[in-house]
Amino acid sequence: MEFQTKLIHGNWRGEHQTGATNVPIYYSNAFVHRSAKELENIFTGRDTGYVYTRIANPSVEAFEKRIAAIEGGMAAVATSSGMSAVYLAVMNILKPNDEMICSSGVFGGTYNLFKNLGDYNIHVKFLDKLDESTLSNEITEKTKVVFAETIGNPKLDVLDIEEV
């Protein structure tokens, strides 16, 4: 499947229940279930389904599947904000006593989030320059994440990703 086709259609094959040929936009904030047991099974992960839109809904799921198809991934997760995406990405990797290296030229909200990771016994080194030389001197056995934005905000730093 070509990039544009993946972007527009993903793996959408129509909706059998309504006959929609395009992904409907679901505004529902909650979903009906036949029993409390069915709802319990969804909440505990024994079964799949929708509970609340803030967790998942058919529109968001279609978007996630398109992103996964475009990126060649197995799955994707959509979040409600960039900050929640950043938090989800790093906190699924970092544990207490771990360390991460971060460009000092990141968005203020990201900087403040990472600055507060010390409260969880996670050490963050903020570096003015991320390049091969600097990283080879700063990475330790405890380093689990190297984080940078490209292009950085607000300094407009451009990370040489291939070098790093």
pLDDT lower than 50: segments of the chain: none
Residue 1 has what pLDDT? 65
Tell me the per-residue pLDDT of 77-125, one tens digit each, with 9 for 90 and over.
Answer: 999 899 999 999 999 999 999 999 999 989 999 999 999 999 999 999 9
3-state secondary structure of 69: helix
- Residue 72's region, left for phi above 0, alpha for psi from -120 to 50, else beta, is left
Of 137, 138, 135, 129, give the one whose Cα is nearest residue 157.
129
pLDDT value at position 143? 98
Output the pTM of the full model.
Answer: 0.74
Cα–Cα distance between 138 and 160 in angstroms, integer?
A: 17
pLDDT at 137: 94
Task: Provide the pLDDT for residue 41.
Answer: 94
Longest Cα–Cα distance in the chain = 60
Domain ranges for the chain, please list them.
Answer: 3-71, 82-147
